[in-house]
A and B are shown apart, each in its own frame.
Chain A
Amino acid sequence: MKLKQLESYLGNLEQFSNPKIELEQYPTGSHIASRMLYTAENSFGDISGKVVADFGCGCGTLSIASALLGAEYVVGIDVDTESLEIAGENAEDLEVDINFVQCDINNLSLRGQIVDTVVMNPPFGTRKKGADMNFLAVAMKVASQAVYSLHKTTTRDHIKKTVLRDLNAKSAEVICELRYDVPQLYKFHKKKEVDIAVDLWRFVPQRDQER
């Protein structure tokens, strides 16, 4: 599938009707999501034929992108009932098969090395400090092959240091810097729309035998 085609499919997905600020629910824009998954597949071969888990899947954008790019089994995990409902409808509209699980990522317990790749657009931790790093810590335990994640560019040094030192990463690399459009979703947003710089990261966990 071509990048443009993927972006246009994702652009038609239904997004949060009632975003919840405590969960830092922001839609993953089709521009960012398509580039994220397209790179994971075409530069690294981490999607097609794989088991992919989407942490904090929200309305399912990254899950659906994974399925469209040929992931063999996609698990979409979110804490929020409404999001999972919308995600389910989105998946149905595009006729892709996603396996949804309702769970708080912080308490997620997945056995073994079944998941190859984790993709996520985690909360940036602006409302609840450390939320981004908590997601990352769980993702690094679950993925056997790679973790793709978005984080604010301002946190780059901190993330690199923490992931290599504490989270058993073999490598941590920023694949590209993107602009994340934050639409005026919440009342406390004063400006109509802002965009912030975010990094698309690829982390490679150490395999068990290397630990």
Chain B
Amino acid sequence: MRLLTHNMLSCNIKGVTNGFPLGLEIVKHEVKEVEFNSDFIRNMFVKIEWKALVDAAKSMGYEELPEEVDSSMLESDEFLKRFHHALLELHLEEGALVCPETGRKFPVVKGIPNMLLNEDEV
């Protein structure tokens, strides 16, 4: 699971109001190279919840993203490449996503997050 997917997902249990961002429990993570597309990355900038991305990347040991950002940084190739790396190249292979409100864990197996709910959570 890439961190762009993580940035979209929130806890879907009925009644949860604050289900984003999901915490990361990491058993195994991987880095897989992806071709760099600066237009796409620039486009993503306004859509991403920055803090969620920074924290998720940190939990995978990647600390090169600035805490504070503004759109002037999009001029910098160096910044775009770091953003690209965090968003698209870091993968959670095995572990779990954790609801920030209830602590419910959603397992991630072979890179696929399992967001299925039990009957009493729907």
B 1-35 binary contact with A (CB < 8 Å = 1; else 0): 11011011111100000011000000000000010
Residues on B close to A: CB < 8 A?
A: 1-2, 4-5, 7-12, 19-20, 34, 37, 39-40, 44, 47-49, 88, 110-117, 122
User: Is A111 part of the contact surface with B, judged by Cβ < 8 Å?
Assistant: yes
User: If A109-B12, A112-B49 touch, does A102 touch B20 (CB 8 Å cutoff)?
Assistant: no
Chain A residues near B47 (CB, 8 Å)?
112-114
CA distance A115 to B19 in the complex (A): 19
A 162-190 binary contact with B (CB < 8 Å = 1; else 0): 00000000000000000000000000000
Interface size on A, residues (CB 8 A): 24
Complex contact A101–B113 (CB within 8 A): yes
CA distance A112 to B9 in the complex (A): 10
User: Is A73 part of the contact surface with B, judged by Cβ < 8 Å?
Assistant: yes
Complex contact A107–B12 (CB within 8 A): yes
CA distance A73 to B9 in the complex (A): 15
CA distance A108 to B8 in the complex (A): 11
Q: Which of B39, B40, B44, B49 contacts A111 (CB 8 A)?
A: B49
CA distance A113 to B122 in the complex (A): 24
Complex contact A112–B114 (CB within 8 A): no
Complex contact B112–A112 (CB within 8 A): no
Chain B residues near A107 (CB, 8 Å)?
12, 115, 117, 122
Q: Whole-angstrom distance from the CB of B49 to the nearest CB of chain A?
A: 7
Complex contact A108–B112 (CB within 8 A): no
Chain B residues near A110 (CB, 8 Å)?
8-10
Complex contact B116–A109 (CB within 8 A): no
Chain A residues near B88 (CB, 8 Å)?
73
Chain A residues near B115 (CB, 8 Å)?
101-103, 107-108
Complex contact A99–B5 (CB within 8 A): yes
Complex contact A112–B40 (CB within 8 A): no
Chain B residues near A112 (CB, 8 Å)?
8, 47, 49
